[in-house]
């Protein structure tokens, strides 16, 4: 996925107050579309440091935090360990390079991720293959960002 090198460098300083606020807006928007999720499994795709998915942990049975940046994954792993979270796991993987046949989820959500993907069509196709029957892909992004 594009910009992985950039995210590798900023992972340990990523959680700014602005990003935390944007993640809250994103997770609130996702929550509006989630139905009966307590028994469902979710993937926070392009999770970064997990700001969005962490807000949604209690809404789902389990959460997989997935990103192409190992340093971002290391940040979310530390949060999972520090908070003794039992229903979450992590995976460093690049869907632009290949798909995963043994990965399945009821919900996949991504917030501000598409702009970092060079081949959106192939990634969305591979994510569709991960969804269980009746699953949902939720995409949160800006219509307009003045900054």
> What domains are defined for the chain?
4-140 (3.40.50.150)
pTM of the complete model: 0.81
How many residues make up the chain in this entry?
147
26 in Cβ contact with 48 (< 8 Å): no
Instruction: Give residue-wise pLDDT tens across range 39-82.
Output: 999 999 888 889 899 999 999 999 999 998 888 899 899 999 99
State the number of CA atoms in the 13 A half-sphere of 123 facing the CB.
24
Q: Which residues contact 132 (CB under 8 A, 6 or more apart)?
A: 104, 105, 106
Least Cα distance to 34 among 61, 12, 8 occurs for: 61
* Coil, helix or strand at residue 44: strand
What tokens appear for 88 in the block? Answer: 């979450």
Reply yes or no on whether the pLDDT at 11 is more than 50: no
Instruction: Give residue-wise pLDDT tens across range 94-140.
Output: 877 777 778 999 999 988 776 667 788 888 889 899 999 999 998 88
């Amino acid at each position: 996925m594009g910009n992985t090198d950039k995210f590798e460098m900023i992972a340990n300083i990523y959680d700014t107050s602005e990003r935390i606020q944007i993640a809250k807006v994103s997770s609130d928007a996702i929550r509006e579309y989630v139905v009966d999720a307590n028994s469902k499994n979710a993937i926070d795709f392009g999770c970064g440091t997990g700001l969005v998915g962490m807000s949604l942990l209690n809404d789902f049975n389990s959460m997989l935090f997935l990103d192409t940046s190992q340093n971002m994954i290391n940040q979310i792993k530390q949060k999972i360990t520090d908070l003794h979270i039992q229903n979450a796991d992590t995976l460093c993987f690049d869907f632009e390079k290949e798909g995963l046949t043994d990965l399945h989820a009821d919900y996949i959500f991504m917030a501000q991720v598409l702009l970092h993907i060079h081949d959106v069509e192939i990634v969305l196709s591979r994510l569709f293959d991960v969804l269980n029957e009746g699953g949902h892909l939720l995409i949160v992004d800006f219509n307009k960002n003045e900054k």
